[in-house]
Amino acid sequence: MQLAIIDSGGANIASLRYAIDRLGVASELTTDPAKVRAASHVILPGVGAAADCMSRLQKTPGLVDTIRKLRQPMLGICVGMQLLFESSEEGEVPCLGLLPGRVRRFADRDDLPVPHMGWNQLEFEPGSPLLKDIQPGDHVYFVHSYSAPVSPLTVASATYGEQFSALVQSGNVFGAQFHPERSARIGSLLLRNFLQLQQTQ
């Protein structure tokens, strides 16, 4: 197995690599398109603003095009998941366009501050390989102000005033809005499940 973690500058990268190390898997942090193409699995993390993350990816010649053409399993995490969609309200930025749809900011509510921060329950019907050994109602850790709406791509949702996509899947492209590296046992299971995916899925 060759796991490439794309260096998007997120502050969560060290904790993500540590969580993967605990699974006994080595990873390489890189922006080298050749190394990303050669990997068996690719993770795109992200923390902060979508526009900043996209700008960082675009600074490496060929990286965005490489990401768009990947056929091996790829997992976007938090802002990394949001970048998989066509666009984001955050900075009105065009994103990678691997998934249809637009990421939007949570509506302001007196009783629910934005960002959505803390533990929340996953809602889903079993079926996705990402959710093996994970149960509806299990808790994972979120920190985000923007989210993707529920759609046919949604394999698990959560609710914060409104229902939103917590996990999405389309072919070889997967996205987790929550932080598996901060989600204890459930996050470890999700990362394990992702790393067990084969390119043919």
Task: Output the domain CATH number for residue 26.
Answer: 3.40.50.880
Q: How far is residue 135's CA from residue 121's CA, in Å, rounded to a whole number?
A: 10
Query: Average pLDDT, stretch 100-115?
Result: 93
Query: Average pLDDT, stretch 144-167?
Result: 97
The residues annotated as belonging to the active site are 78, 179, 181
Whether cis (ω within 30° of 0) applies to the bond prior to 115 is: yes
Q: Does residue 90 have a pLDDT over 70?
A: yes
End-to-end alpha carbon distance in the chain:
16
Give me the amino acid identity at 170: S
Q: How far is residue 70's CA from residue 38's CA, in Å, rounded to a whole number?
A: 10
Find the domain containing 12 and state its range.
Answer: 3-195
Q: Is residue 201 part of a domain?
A: no
Confidence bin at 201 (pLDDT 50/70/90)? very low
Query: Average pLDDT, stretch 130-136?
Result: 98
% of the chain with per-residue pLDDT over 70: 98
Task: Specify the pLDDT at position 72.
Answer: 97
Q: Is residue 127 part of a domain?
A: yes
Query: Average pLDDT, stretch 154-175?
Result: 97
Q: Is residue 200 part of a domain?
A: no
92 or 60: which leads in pLDDT? 60
Residue 102 near residue 91 (C-beta atoms within 8 A) = no
Extract the tokens encoding 144.
Answer: 């985000």
Task: Specify the pLDDT at position 199.
Answer: 64
pLDDT digits (tens, 9 = 90+) for 123-132: 999 999 999 9
Task: Specify the pLDDT at position 25.
Answer: 96
Q: Is residue 96 part of a domain?
A: yes
% of the chain with per-residue pLDDT over 90: 86
Q: Does residue 200 have a pLDDT over 60?
A: no
Q: Is residue 187 part of a domain?
A: yes
Q: Is residue 112 part of a domain?
A: yes
Number of structural domains, the chain? 1
